[in-house]
């Protein structure tokens, strides 16, 4: 993967929300703006010069990242909330119709489809030729990338709107019952589960053997990935749906009270906090020394001290995570707009 690629939700399978260091440079202008049919709830992903965007009208649209031209679109015949993932020349996404779709990235043609038990908003994660995703029936699924065969299916006891992350043959995901689960990626066995005080719809992230995840119980957790033991937890003002981003010593997340925070990953001590005045539900993204966040407006903050570097008002309906590369920032809006800023 190069610095100009962003092939899955929050950039990589660990959902770290960050990538290689880049110098801060404020976007100077809109490179292009495009529209897709239907509102967009998922984040864009980028691979090989194509931006892939899902929409509530049921389309996966491939857009030329250089100029915003639509290359192709695929009709899933059901609203799509999930962010797609790219692997092996295929794009994968789940739909409200309870299906996991595999689409050829060049032609936009269907490769295969798997039917789950209920709607799925969770973004699939791909690791070692296996796709993992959860659905509202409370199951996690492991599906063979090549042919769509279901390898295992595991009931978790609560609705799964959290997108899983993967590290070292383990899949980590939260669910509506409030538990964070660690599942063996090959066996589908639950290796451990750690309860929190309310449901989880935030997607966990992993760094340095620690899992970071927010819960609707107002707490942000750091959990040992091997044992499931809670290393520390930090209390916010309201529930946490925003997925964290990790870089260096900092983990950054927002809460529904509209406060963006950076905590030290070792001990959970507060490094800085910024009040934005509007509920934060979108994940933060870190690019080099910059934290990107969308909460009504699009913001860039300095990672080290939280100072506001830049913000833009592109409408009030920006909530998804951006995709950030060396040359551009790609954004989607709930109204179906796609922006490239550079």
Q: Could you count the other beta carbons within 10 Å of the beta carbon of residue 122?
A: 30
Nearest residue (CB) to another protein, 56 versus 323: 56
Which residue in 114, 119, 121 sits closest to 153, CA to CA?
114
Contact between residue 34 and residue 72 where contact means Cβ atoms under 8 Å apart? no
Residue 70 found at the interface with another protein (CB under 8 A):
no
What the block records as the tokens of 332 is: 């989607």
| Nearest-approach distance from CB 138 to another protein, in angstroms | 5
Q: Does 201 bind another protein (CB under 8 A)?
A: yes
Q: Which of 17, 42, 134, 176 binds another protein (CB under 8 A)?
A: 176
**In this chain, which of 90, 194, 241, 243 binds another protein, going by CB under 8 A?**
241
Distance of alpha carbon 256 from the chain centroid = 17
CB atoms within 10 A of CB 126: 21
- DSSP H helices, the chain, are none
Choices 37-45, 144-152, 260-268, 297-305 (CB under 8 A): range interacting with another protein: 37-45
Choice from 5, 12, 179, 217 touching another protein (CB under 8 A)? 217
Scanning the structure block, which residue is given the tokens 């659905």?
135
By CB under 8 A, which span of 8-16, 60-68, 214-222, 300-308 interacts with another protein? 214-222
Candidates 8, 127, 281, 298: give the one binding another protein (CB under 8 A): 281
Residue 40 CA to its chain's centroid (Å): 14
Strand 85-87 to strand 70-75: parallel, antiparallel, or no bridges (unpaired)?
unpaired
Token output for 75? 């009709």
Binding flag, residue 159, another protein (CB under 8 A): yes
Shortest reach from residue 284's CB to another protein, in Å: 17
| Angle subtended at Cα 11 by Cα 205 and Cα 97, rounded to the nearest 5 degrees | 85
- To another protein, the closest distance from the beta carbon of 86 in angstroms equals 25
Structure-token pair, residue 44: 């864009």
Choices 85-93, 140-148, 157-165, 306-314 (CB under 8 A): range interacting with another protein: 157-165
Q: Do 95 and 79 contact (CB within 8 A), yes or no? A: yes
The torsion angle over the Cα atoms of residues 266, 267, 273 and 275, rounded to 10 degrees, is: 110
**136 lines the binding site for another protein (CB under 8 A):** yes
Task: For residue 92, give both structure tokens.
Answer: 């994968």
Half-sphere exposure of 177 (CA within 13 A, CB side): 14
- Report, in Å, the least distance between residue 267 CB and another protein: 23
Contact between 257 and another protein per CB under 8 A: yes
Which residues in 318-337 contact another protein (CB under 8 A)?
A: 319, 334-336
- CB of residue 199 vs another protein: minimum separation in angstroms? 4
CB nearer another protein, residue 157 or residue 342? 157
Instruction: List beta partners, residue 102.
Output: 92, 112
Residue 82 engages another protein in binding (rule: CB under 8 A)? no
Q: Compute the half-sphere exposure of residue 76: CA atoms within 13 Å on the CB side of its CA.
A: 36
Among the listed ranges 63-71, 102-110, 159-167, 266-274, the one in contact with another protein (CB under 8 A) is: 159-167
The contact set with another protein (CB under 8 A) reads: 38-39, 41, 56, 79, 121, 136-138, 158-159, 161-162, 175-176, 198-201, 216-218, 237-239, 241, 256-258, 277-279, 281, 317, 319, 334-336
């Amino acid at each position: 993967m190069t610095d100009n690629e962003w092939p899955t939700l929050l950039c990589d399978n660990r959902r770290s929300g960050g990538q290689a260091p880049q110098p801060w440079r404020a976007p100077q202008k809109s490179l292009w703006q495009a529209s897709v049919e239907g509102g967009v709830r998922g984040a864009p992903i980028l691979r090989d010069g194509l931006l892939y965007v899902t929409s509530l009208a049921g389309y996966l649209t491939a857009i030329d990242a250089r100029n915003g031209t639509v290359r192709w679109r695929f009709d899933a015949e059901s609203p799509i909330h999930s962010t797609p993932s790219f692997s092996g020349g295929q794009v994968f996404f789940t739909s409200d119709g309870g299906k996991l779709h595999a689409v050829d990235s060049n032609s936009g043609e269907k490769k295969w489809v798997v039917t789950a038990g209920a709607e799925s908003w969770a973004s699939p994660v791909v690791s070692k030729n296996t796709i993992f995703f959860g659905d509202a029936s409370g199951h996690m699924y492991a599906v063979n990338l090549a042919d769509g065969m279901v390898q295992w299916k595991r009931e978790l006891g609560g609705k799964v709107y959290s997108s899983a992350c993967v590290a070292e043959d383990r899949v980590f995901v939260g669910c509506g019952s409030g538990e964070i689960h660690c599942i063996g990626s090959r066996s589908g066995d639950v290796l451990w589960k750690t309860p929190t005080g309310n449901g989880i719809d935030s997607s966990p992230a992993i760094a340095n053997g620690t899992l970071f995840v927010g819960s609707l119980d107002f707490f942000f957790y750091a959990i040992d990935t091997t044992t499931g033991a809670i290393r520390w937890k930090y209390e916010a003002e309201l529930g946490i749906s925003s997925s964290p981003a990790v870089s260096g010593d900092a983990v950054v997340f927002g809460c529904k009270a509209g406060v963006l925070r950076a905590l030290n990953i070792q001990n959970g001590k507060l490094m800085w906090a910024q009040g934005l005045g509007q509920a934060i539900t979108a994940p933060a993204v870190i690019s080099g020394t910059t934290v990107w966040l969308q909460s009504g407006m699009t913001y860039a903050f300095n990672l080290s001290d939280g100072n506001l570097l830049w913000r833009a008002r592109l409408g009030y309906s920006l909530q998804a995570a951006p995709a950030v590369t060396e040359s551009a920032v790609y954004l989607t809006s709930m109204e179906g707009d796609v922006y490239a800023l550079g």
